[in-house]
Structure 1
Amino acid sequence: MEFRMKEHGFQGEFNFGTLDVSGDDKYGFRPYQLLAASVAVCSGGVLKKILLKKRIKFDDITIHVDIKRNAGGAQEITDIHLDFIIIGGNASKEKLAKSLEVARKNCPIVQSVHNSINITESIEQK
């Protein structure tokens, strides 16, 4: 992975496309957004695999992400809450909760930051 400096941030070229990263959201994704997105999407991807493996039916997954940052410090992320909304299906609350627990233990990004960022989760079905 390589990023090159631009006037207002950095840019990386990847197989999928160009990624612009900047402290100013007029010029690219802000680093904290990418970190929170990595936690959310990794968790969601692992959860999807688990639901499919368990043959739990669903139509879609939406993840709402709430972030808290330390305003008195370096603006570091202190907390991330992930609210998973499972659209469709008829799984019990217990099966969904257990699946989410397994996803948390198997998401490499969550495991990479779990000692430095408080990550909480909730799950519901609509």
Structure 2
Amino acid sequence: MKFSMKEGGFTAQLPYGQLDVSGDEQYGFRPYQLLTASIAVCSGGVLRKILEKKRMNVEDIEINTNVYRNAQEADRIEKVEVHFIIKGKELSDVQIKKAMELTRKNCSMVQSVIPVIEVVETFEIVPV
């Protein structure tokens, strides 16, 4: 990726479109938001593939995150909580827990950050 300086931040032209990044939300996505989104969406994509391969009847997956930063250490991200709300039919806690374990092992973003950032994944099932 190539980033060019712009007012208030940096920008990159990517195949999907323009990515504006800045420490100020007025000018683009903040770096911690992109890191959090990468962890959440990578996990969600891996989970979705696993559930599809297991032929589980999932209608929707919503992902909520919480980020904990250390103000004494340059606002370093110390913990990311990723909570999945899985809507579907005939889903069991045991099945989803196993899928979540596989997700953690196979998500490249989670595996990249867990040596220095605590990543906690939780889920809830919403029957439809």
Name the TM-score class by shorter chain: over 0.9
Give distance in 2, aligned partners of 1:117 and 1:102.
Answer: 19
Tell me the number of residue pairs that the alignment of Structure 1 and Structure 2 aligns: 126
Cα deviation, 1:34-67, whole Å, max 9, x if unaligned, reads: 0000000000000000000001111000000000
Which 4+ runs in 1 deviate beyond 6 A? none
In the alignment, structure 1 residue 14 sits paired with structure 2 residue 35: no
- SS of the aligned residue for 2:36 comes to helix
Q: How many Å apart are 1:6 and its aligned residue?
A: 0.7
What does 1:23-42 correspond to in 2, within 5 Å?
23-42=23-42
Give distance in 1, aligned partners of 2:81 and 2:65.
Answer: 6
Identity among equivalent positions (%) equals 52
What does 1:79-98 correspond to in 2, within 5 Å?
79-98=79-98
Of Structure 1 and Structure 2, the greater strand share is in 2
Counterpart residue type for residue 92 of structure 2: S
Give distance in 2, aligned partners of 1:93 and 1:5.
Answer: 47
The TM-score normalised by the length of structure 1 is 0.98
Counterpart residue type for residue 20 of structure 1: D
- SS of the aligned residue for 1:42 comes to helix
Corresponding residue of 1:100 = 100
Gaps of 5+ in 2: none
Corresponding residue of 2:61 = 61
Gaps of 5+ in 1: none
Give distance in 2, aligned partners of 1:73 and 1:29.
Answer: 21
Q: How many Å apart are 1:88 and its aligned residue?
A: 2.0
The alignment's C-alpha RMSD in Å is 0.6
The TM-score normalised by the length of structure 2 is 0.97
Counterpart residue type for residue 106 of structure 1: N
